[in-house]
Structure 1
Amino acid sequence: MTQSQPNDPRQTVICLKWGDRYGPEYVNRMYRMVSRNTARPLRFVCFTDDPTGIGEGVEVKPMPPFDLPERMRFHPFRRMFLFQETLDDLTGPLLHLDLDLLVTGSIDPLFDHKPEARFVVAENWTQKGQGIGNMSVFRFNVGELTEVWDRFRPDPGAMMDLYRNSQTFVCRTLGEVAFFPGAWVLSFKHSLVPPWPLRFFQTPRLPEDAITVAFTGKPDIDEAARGEWPVRAAWKKLYKHVRPTPWIAEHWR
C-alpha cells in the first residue's frame, strides 16, 4: 500500500464507509468516477470499518475506534475525527466526497477554488444564505480546523443535542465558511428535478458545468436512475415523482 511523502504531488480525495448502508461497490464506483475526472496524480483514501470488497487503487485506512455515545455509531457526527490535529499520515488539502453522490466533471477546480480558505463546502441547498454547508462535498487542510474537534470531543452528546446535524455544528463552530460555486455542486432533487408538475413529463437535465450531484434523502442514486421515488404516504406520490434518468448510469460506474 502506498504512503504519502513530503511534498507529495498527488491530490488526495477521501471517503468514509461505516456500517452497512453502502457496500464496497459504492467505494469502487467513487474511485473510478474520481479517476476519470482528474488530470492530476490522485491519492484516493477510504476510511472504513470493513475493507471487504474494496478494490485495487483505493488506499484503505481504519475508522478510529468507536468511543462515542451509541446513538452516534452510524450518525454523520462520527466523522468529526477528520478535524483532529493529525489524520493518519495524510497532510495538506483533502477533498471529502460522500459515497451517495455522482462525480460528473473534473474535480480539479474543487482543489483550486479559493485556495486561501480554511474550509470550502457546498452551500446547503435548503438553507441558502444561512452560512450552512452541505458536507457531501468539502475541502479542508489537515490539522487546521482543530477547534471543531476541540469543541466536539469533551461532550459529543451535548453537541448532537444542541445542533440539528453535523454540518450545522461544523459551520457554526467555524463561524465563516467558503462555498463552492453553486453550478459545480448540485443536489439531484433540489437542483435538477423539474418543478411540479413538469417533473411528470420532463427528465432531469445535467448541466455542463456540474462537477458533483448529491442524492440526499430519497431517491437514492439507483432509484433515481430507474425513475423511482419511494414514499411512505401514498398521497406524497402526487408531488414526489421523477422520470427515469439515463445519464445517472453513464456516470455511476
Structure 2
Amino acid sequence: MKWGAKYGPEYVNRLYGMVRRHLTGDFNFVCLTDDGHGIRPEVRCLPIPPLNLHLKPGQRDGAWKKLTTFEADLHGLRGTALFLDLDVVVVGSLDGFFTQPGEFLIIHDYPRFWRFGERIVGNSSVYRFELGAHADVLAHFRGHMAEVQREYRNEQEFLSRFLHRQGRLAYWPAAWCPSFKYHCIPAWPTNWWKPPFVPPDARIVIFHGEVNPPDALAGRRNKRFAHIEPALWVGEAWKA
C-alpha cells in the first residue's frame, strides 16, 4: 500500500524484487495506491478503496487505510494475501508465510518493559488472510468510526483485538520478523563499532520507529545520542 509522498515508487519496486527472489512459484503482486507513476510493470496498481475517515483538523489518518484490505470484494481479487509494509527488508524465504497454519496471522508486537497484562496486539507490517474473509472488520470500523478511533491508538490494535475476540488471531514464529531497532542493533556500547546484524532465522526485518532502510544502510538514527554503524546487508537485500 502506498499513499502520499512519504515513500516513492522505488520502495514498491524494491519490495517486488525482494519478494520475487524469496518466494517460490508464481504470484500476483498488487499495490493499492493513489499514484502508480514509476512503479515497475510486474506490479498491478489498483486504487485504495475510500475509507472516508472522520478526522479533526491537523489529525493524520495514520495507517487506518490498511483496513480497506478487508473489503468484501477488493477489486475482484481472490485467494490468500500476504500484506507487506513498503519499508520491510526481506532476508529469507517467504514460502512459509503461505503454509503456516492459522486463519489470520500477524507479527506478535514487540514487547516493551513498561507493558503489563496479556500482550495481544499484532504489528501489521506483515499479515496473511483470505481476501474477503474478514469483511466484518471493515464493516465494524465504518459503522463505529469515531468510537473505534477513541478506543484504539491505531489500526493494528483495533484489528488484533477484534480478531482475538473471534478466536481467529494467530502469530508468526517470533524469529521470522525481527525488529531492526530491537533485535538487529548490537547492545551499547558495542553498537559504536559493531554493525547491525541479521538475527538467526530472520525472514523479514521490520523497520518501525526512527530508522528506515536508507537510514540503516547509511548508519543514521533520528534519535538523540543513539548510534548505529552502517548495515551493509541492507544494501545487498533491499534492491529491485
- Residues 64-95 of structure 1: per-residue CA shift (max 9 Å, x gap): 13522245764201121111211112112100
Shifted more, 203-212 versus 186-195: the winner is 203-212
Distance 1:207 1:158 in 2: 40
Distance 1:252 1:91 in 2: 28
Shifted more, 61-70 versus 180-189: the winner is 61-70
TM-score normalized by the length of structure 1: 0.86
- Give the corresponding residue for 1:252: 238
- Give the corresponding residue for 2:173: 181
Shifted more, 45-54 versus 75-84: the winner is 75-84
- Give the corresponding residue for 2:81: 94
Letter of the 1:34 partner, please give it.
V
Letter of the 2:27 partner, please give it.
L
Task: Please tell me whether residue 19 in structure 1 is matched to residue 4 in structure 2.
Answer: yes
Letter of the 1:17 partner, please give it.
K
- Give the corresponding residue for 1:192: 184
Cα deviation, residue 224, structure 1: 0.9
Determine which of 213, 221, 233 is the counterpart of 2:205.
213
TM-score normalized by the length of structure 2: 0.90
Percent sequence identity over aligned pairs: 37
Task: Please tell me whether residue 59 in structure 1 is matched to residue 44 in structure 2.
Answer: yes
Trace 1:68-83 onto structure 2 (pairs within 5 A): 68-70=53-55, 74-83=61-70
- Give the corresponding residue for 1:225: 217
Cα deviation, residue 207, structure 1: 3.0
Distance 2:37 2:55 in 1: 24
Q: Which runs of 4+ in 1 moved over 6 A?
A: none
Cα deviation, residue 155, structure 1: 2.8
Do the aligned partners of 2:30 and 2:43 also contact (CA within 8 Å) in 1? yes
Do the aligned partners of 1:188 and 1:215 also contact (CA within 8 Å) in 2? yes
Shifted more, 146-155 versus 19-28: the winner is 146-155
RMSD (Å) for aligned C-alpha atoms: 1.7
Structure 2 unmatched ranges of 5 or more: none
Letter of the 2:151 partner, please give it.
L
Distance 1:23 1:75 in 2: 17
- Residues 188-208 of structure 1: per-residue CA shift (max 9 Å, x gap): 001111222221222111134
Distance 2:211 2:136 in 1: 35
Determine which of 49, 71, 94 is the counterpart of 1:107.
94
Determine which of 241, 244, 248 is the counterpart of 2:227.
241
Letter of the 2:149 partner, please give it.
M
Do the aligned partners of 2:210 and 2:221 also contact (CA within 8 Å) in 1? yes
Distance 2:83 2:55 in 1: 24
Cα deviation, residue 63, structure 1: 1.0
Distance 2:138 2:154 in 1: 15
- Give the corresponding residue for 1:4: none
Shifted more, 85-94 versus 122-131: the winner is 122-131
- Give the corresponding residue for 1:139: 128
Aligned residues: 230
Do the aligned partners of 1:132 and 1:168 also contact (CA within 8 Å) in 2? yes
- Give the corresponding residue for 1:168: 157
Letter of the 2:37 partner, please give it.
T
Structure 1 unmatched ranges of 5 or more: 1-15
- Residues 5-44 of structure 1: per-residue CA shift (max 9 Å, x gap): xxxxxxxxxxx00111101110010011100111111210
Secondary structure of 1:42 counterpart = coil
Letter of the 1:250 partner, please give it.
E
